[in-house]
Amino acid sequence: VPDDSDYGPCVEFILQNDVLATLQQYAQIDRPTGMRKLVLSFFSQLVQKLQRTVLPHLNIHKPLQDMICVCGGGKYPIDEINFITSVLGKFHEDPSLVNLFMNETRGKNGVVNYELRLVDALISLSHNTDDRVVKKSCESLLLCVAADSEYVIDNVLSYTILVQDLVSRLCQRYNSFQQDPSDLLDTHVSWTNQLELCFVDCKDKTTARLLIWVDYLNTLSSSSHPNFTNKLLRHFSKVAVATEVEEEVDTEVGDHPPEDKGCCIIL
């Protein structure tokens, strides 16, 4: 596709006939069955081939935005993550494109709320039961927070729950850890090649799950934009301190010590 106003006959046809919008509508209801999978695959290939100057056209980015909104919990997670990562690749070419994929919703009082559904979909997919989807989602989230653009990072921090989700999952995994603390010293894992727990050599998989997530957060905090790293560490500290105070109060009033151990992993 040429990088100028002359898009060529194929792109001109798409622009003038709402082809993408029509495909997106069929994909949203997945009728006939399997249509969403086919459209996701087509959209992924199309985005990779389009020049970024074409994306601002309403008949291009609006159907893509609507498709992103149905990603995250569907029947075709691999196709969804492939589509999301293809769009994310355009962000790296031009960070200003993030404006095209901001969703606006109005609350009961008429207050406008903004959502960055691209990141929301990645968060949802990172909870998938398919390890391949989880790994690719985590890799894509790394790319999101490693962006050089402060504007992109501020949008991620302001309009997504990424920081809260990352810390919450660390706390959940730590609370599930019931083994001897020495297991933490004896087990060596890397999130990049050991997301599949069947390949981890340790006494208990909860130990591996905890250390894999710690390794991922360490990687993320060391490679992300400083604004994101600071927000992540501040939220982590806030949660850890709040948990410690809550446990101290429970002990002082004579309650039994809580079963969970809070969250005291140091990144």
Give the single-character DSSP code of 5: S
Residues 34, 69: Cα–Cα separation, whole Å: 18
pLDDT by position in tens, the chain (length 267): 444 455 678 888 888 889 999 999 999 999 999 999 999 999 999 999 888 888 899 999 999 999 999 999 889 999 999 999 999 999 888 888 888 889 888 877 888 889 999 999 999 999 998 888 999 999 999 999 988 889 999 999 999 999 999 999 998 888 887 766 666 666 677 787 655 544 445 556 777 788 888 889 999 989 999 999 999 999 998 887 665 445 443 444 445 444 444 444 444
The 10s digit of each residue's pLDDT in 89-101 is: 998 888 888 888 8
- Tell whether the torsion through CA atoms of 175, 181, 187 and 192 is positive or negative: positive
Whole-prediction pTM: 0.84
Concatenated DSSP letters for 74-115? Answer: SS-HHHHHHHHHHHHHHHHH-GGGGGGGEEEEE-TTS-EEEE
Residues 229, 118: Cα–Cα separation, whole Å: 20
The 10s digit of each residue's pLDDT in 203-259 is: 567 777 888 888 899 999 899 999 999 999 999 988 876 654 454 434 444 454 444
Tell whether omega for the bond before 32 is within 30 degrees of 0, i.e. cis: yes
